[in-house]
Amino acid sequence: MKDFFIGLLDWIYKKKCYFCKHSDECVRMCSKCYESLEHLRPEVNRIVQSKNIYCAGVYDKNLQKLIRGLKYHNQRELAKYLAKFMYEYWLLIDGKSNFQVVPVPIYKTREKKRKYNHMNLVAEEFCNLSGCTLNIDLIKRIKNTKPQYNLKKHERENNLKNAFEVDESNLLPMKILILDDICTTGSTFEEMIKEFAKHNIFDITCFAATTPFEE
């Protein structure tokens, strides 16, 4: 019933596509704009600390806008589109294995200010599609790090040093799939992997929506 009334309100107020601004489909991302998103080849994008990192898509106009809208502009509904895009890629990589999906955490004050962690939303939608198990309690960010985008590689590494803390009591008996939006140098994944290694947790794969670098 709730979905019916939400759909009715969308129809009445003609919800527009966040990307092309058309309202024909009454959705936040129309099929044409979604289909413009381009997947990378289904292969390992890079290796960090002996762990495979996969990146789902080409860092182009609409994927950039999708991530920024979700992350910075309270467009929470876009999480399902990013999750779908990642899941469609993931089916080409590993469509059978069951993982505990661990979204990259953000610091508590930043999450409180933003009122959500966008990767938690994406991970929840990804798990709904894949049947994987969401685990947002396994690792926390305990250091209020600076934004990474203007930092060089060594600055990113220093910024993230000792930024995470694992709570082993929340470890599930299955492999770990770490989810993030953008993998630039891999520093975030690397620091999380190092923290997991302190607890003898090694069965880890990393998965980002995109990378701004060429393969």
Residue 19 has what pLDDT?
97
Question: Same structural domain for residues 122 and 175?
Answer: yes
Lowest mean pLDDT among 5-9, 71-75, 156-160: 5-9
Residue 14's DSSP bridge partners are none
The residue type at 133: T
Say how far apart CA 206 and CA 180 lie, in whole Å.
8
**CATH number of the domain to which 189 belongs:** 3.40.50
Question: Same structural domain for residues 78 and 169?
Answer: yes
Question: Same structural domain for residues 174 and 70?
Answer: yes
Q: Mind listing the pLDDT tens digit for each residue in 65-111?
A: 999 999 999 999 999 999 999 999 999 997 667 899 999 999 999 99
Q: Read off the pLDDT of each residue in 29-56 and give the average, rounded to a whole number.
A: 97
Sign for the CA dihedral angle at 95, 33, 116, 106 comes to positive
Question: Same structural domain for residues 115 and 203?
Answer: yes
Question: Same structural domain for residues 145 and 82?
Answer: yes
Residue 60 in this model has a pLDDT that exceeds 50 = yes
Residue 5 in this model has a pLDDT that exceeds 80 = no
Residue 215 has what pLDDT?
43
Q: Closest Cα to residue 33, out of 79, 73, 81?
A: 81
Question: Same structural domain for residues 133 and 202?
Answer: yes
The token duo for 4 is 């019916």
Other CB atoms within 10 Å distance of the CB of residue 66? 27
Question: Same structural domain for residues 171 and 153?
Answer: yes
Residue 168 in this model has a pLDDT that exceeds 90 = yes
Question: Of 62 and 147, which is predicted with more confidence?
Answer: 62
Q: Closest Cα to residue 211, out of 59, 54, 63?
A: 59
Question: Same structural domain for residues 28 and 41?
Answer: no
The token duo for 11 is 């129809």
Question: Same structural domain for residues 6 and 24?
Answer: yes
- Name the pTM for this structure: 0.90
Q: Quote the number of domains for the chain.
A: 2
The domain in which residue 70 lies consists of 37-211
Residue 149 has what pLDDT?
64
Q: For the chain, first and last CA: distance in Å? A: 46
Question: Same structural domain for residues 85 and 1?
Answer: no
Residue 9 has what pLDDT?
59
